[in-house]
């Protein structure tokens, strides 16, 4: 897909990545940039706010993977992603991080649903009126899931057997219901006809890399 390129003088949007401890925020970011910061963290817990810049060329490369079913033009010069701690001891750092960002990625563990810091992060985003997307992480934990490494999660889901598809639908439905009960209407991004009113949900795996291209595409659309 041919990209027009960003306008001169545009600022790269700043995106925070938030969520409960152990949802896979740092691992997801590691996979996005092909590094391994998580292993160097004490107990695998992020203890400071770290920033990663994704240049225009990297964004185009990822967006191109989903261009067949979710075409998007990359009209930003890059994307700055800030990784915030999920552990409750670091709530001050997390609120400071959410105050810096134009948009946010809220990571929710598909296996555990909405947890304590998930709620806190949601309230922060709501209070600051920050637009956000949800990364529904750990789809690779679904029983009998067959990963399609580094590919779009939309295509991975379509290729799964019936049982993994049913488990994904059941777990996702419960999380969407829980979000609605907290006042957040949300929908899987490829079913979301009204992104201004509904939060887009992107299935991801920090282990297989599935859904990273989908996630970056939805974030760019939001910015």
pTM of the model: 0.88
Number of Cβ within 10 Å of residue 128's Cβ equals 12
The Cα 60–Cα 211 span in angstroms is 15
**pLDDT interval class at 20 (50, 70, 90):** confident
Higher confidence at residue 130 or residue 38? 130
Ranges 42-46, 126-130, 183-187, most confident: 183-187
Q: CA 164 to CA 187: how far, in whole Å? A: 19
What integer is the mean pLDDT of 70-91? 77
What's the whole-number mean pLDDT along residues 122-129?
85
| CA–CA dist 114, 120 (Å, integer) | 10
Residue 43: predicted pLDDT: 45
Task: Give the pLDDT confidence score for residue 133 in this predicted structure.
Answer: 97
- At residue 21 the predicted structure's pLDDT band, cuts being 50, 70 and 90, is confident
């Amino acid at each position: 897909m041919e990209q027009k390129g960003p306008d001169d003088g545009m600022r790269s949007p700043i995106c925070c990545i938030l969520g409960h401890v152990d949802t896979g925020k740092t691992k997801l970011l590691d996979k996005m940039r092909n590094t391994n910061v998580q292993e160097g963290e004490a107990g695998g817990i992020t203890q400071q706010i770290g920033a990663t810049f994704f240049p225009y060329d990297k964004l185009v490369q990822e967006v191109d993977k989903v261009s067949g079913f979710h075409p998007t033009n990359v009209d930003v010069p890059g994307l700055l992603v800030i990784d915030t701690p999920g552990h409750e001891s670091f709530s001050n750092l997390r609120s400071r991080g959410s105050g810096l960002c134009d948009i946010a990625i809220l990571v929710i563990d598909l296996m555990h649903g909405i947890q304590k810091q998930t709620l806190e992060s949601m309230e922060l985003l709501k209070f600051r009126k920050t637009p956000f997307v949800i990364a529904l992480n750990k789809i690779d934990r679904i029983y009998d899931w067959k990963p399609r490494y580094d590919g779009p999660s939309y295509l991975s889901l379509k290729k799964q057997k019936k049982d993994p598809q049913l488990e994904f639908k059941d777990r996702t439905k419960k999380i969407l219901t829980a979000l609605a009960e907290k006042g957040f209407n949300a929908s899987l991004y490829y079913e979301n006809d009204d992104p201004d009113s509904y939060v887009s949900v992107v299935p991801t795996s920090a282990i297989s890399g599935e859904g990273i291209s989908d996630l970056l595409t939805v974030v760019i659309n939001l910015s």
